[in-house]
Structure formats: structure tokens, C-alpha cells
A and B are shown apart, each in its own frame.
Chain A
Amino acid sequence: EDKVVQSPLSLVVHEGDTVTLNCSYEVTNFRSLLWYKQEKKAPTFLFMLTSSGIEKKSGRLSSILDKKELFSILNITATQTGDSAIYLCAVGWHSGYALNFGKGTSLLVTP
């Protein structure tokens, strides 16, 4: 069973729309949740959320962590074609040093 589940798997929107991407995780020993954006090559870091930092914002992107309901959302407002990418969610646990990624959400923003 997957420890980190992202939804939707794929999304197509028009430029200017607002999108919300979801990431849910198992409860056991949660330490931090990270969001990455992957275009053609390597994933690049967007946000990290922990128990002491449950909301982050950078420009049109923002993210929150709901520790009670065990999920995080990544919000992108006024989308642009340059936002087209795969968005990855990863969770780290107190019980070890591994990092678990979800399968990602593929976002396509059309002109």
C-alpha cells in the first residue's frame, strides 16, 4: 500500500485557472512533507512543511499542511503555461531516513 498518495494523477486547465493538487500520507511518525516541481529534467524544490511550519507561500504558489486530516494541498493561482510540469509530493518520517514520494500529478496548462 502506498504511503503517499497524490491526486489527481493528471490535470489539464486553461491559462489563468486556479488549480489545487492534493497529497495524503500515512500518519505514522510524520516528520515533514516536501513539494517538488519536475519539468523536463530534475525535480526542483518548492516547499517544505513540518509540524512547526504548516503554511508556505511563494508568488502564485502556496501550500498548507493539515496534520489532523493527514494531507497537504498545493495551490497555483492564475496558472501560466510555464506551470506545466509534474508536481511531486514527498514525506519523511521520524522512524527512519527514507523519503517516500507520491506518483506525482501531471499538470498541463493550455493557452
Chain B
Amino acid sequence: EAQVTQNPRYLITVTGKKLTVTCSQNMNHEYMSWYRQDPGLGLRQIYYSMNVEVTDKGDVPEGYKVSRKEKRNFPLILESPSPNQTSLYFCASGRQVNQPQHFGDGTRLSIL
């Protein structure tokens, strides 16, 4: 089954404690992306990757890091999380940037 898998689904943590949200896709897609979704602000792109070892900033990259060492994985790293990063996060993948993207089920992060 074609899918994008994110882990964890829910996480409550404290300010400053490094965390990683993993994302894996099994469709051999080149393009992967991370979004955050906040009430009244919609979906905003954090980082994206066009292929292995190729990443770039989206609209709201501050406070986040990503890596793309393998085609299937695209982890999102919060080195020093802060409360303003409390949000619902989605990972997505697609054959190319302007092709339909498949979304994971989301990760709800709460930073206290």
C-alpha cells in the first residue's frame, strides 16, 4: 500500500529538548516536504527536498532542520524546540513538486 508514514503521531515535550519527527515514503518519490498547520494560518511549507541530498527552505524554516540521506526518508529536526513550534505537522511526498502529493497522517507536537 502506497503511504507516507510519520512518527510519532503525538508528542508532548518541553522547551529546549531536541526532537526528531521521522517521515518515510514507499513510493520512490523524488519530492518530499514538511508543512505545519495552524488555525487561521493554513498549511505552511517548512522545508522541501527535490531529491537525495537536495533540500531547500520553504516559507517558515526558522527553528527547523531536515536531511535527505536516503530517498525514502526525510526527518524533521527541532534542535531546541520552543512553544511557538506547537503545531500539527505533515510530511508529504510526490513524484515532482507540481504533481499531487501524498500526505502522512500528521504529527501533533506540543512544546511546553
A residues with a Cβ closer than 8 A to B are 31-32, 34, 41-45, 48, 50, 88, 90, 92, 97-104
Contact = CB atoms under 8 A, between A and B. Distances in A.
Interface string B11-38: 0000000000000000000010101000
A97 B97 contact: yes
A43 B91 CA distance: 11
Contacts of A31: 98
Nearest to A34: B100
Query: Interface centre among B45, B100, B104, by most A CB within 10 Å?
Result: B100
Q: Which 5 A-B pairs have the closest CB atoms?
A: A103-B42, A42-B103, A92-B98, A101-B43, A45-B100
A97 B103 contact: no
Given A97-B48, A98-B58, A99-B33, A41 B42 contact: no
Given A88-B42, A101-B42, A103-B41, A48 B100 contact: yes
Interface of B: 4, 31, 33, 35, 40-45, 48, 50, 56, 58-59, 90, 97-106
B42 A102 contact: yes
A105 B90 CA distance: 18
A43 B104 CA distance: 9
A8 B100 CA distance: 24
B71 to A, nearest CB: 16
B43 A92 contact: no
A101 B99 CA distance: 14
A42 B104 contact: yes
Given A42-B90, A42-B106, A99 B45 contact: yes
Given A97-B56, A98-B59, A101-B43, A48 B106 contact: no
A97 B42 contact: no
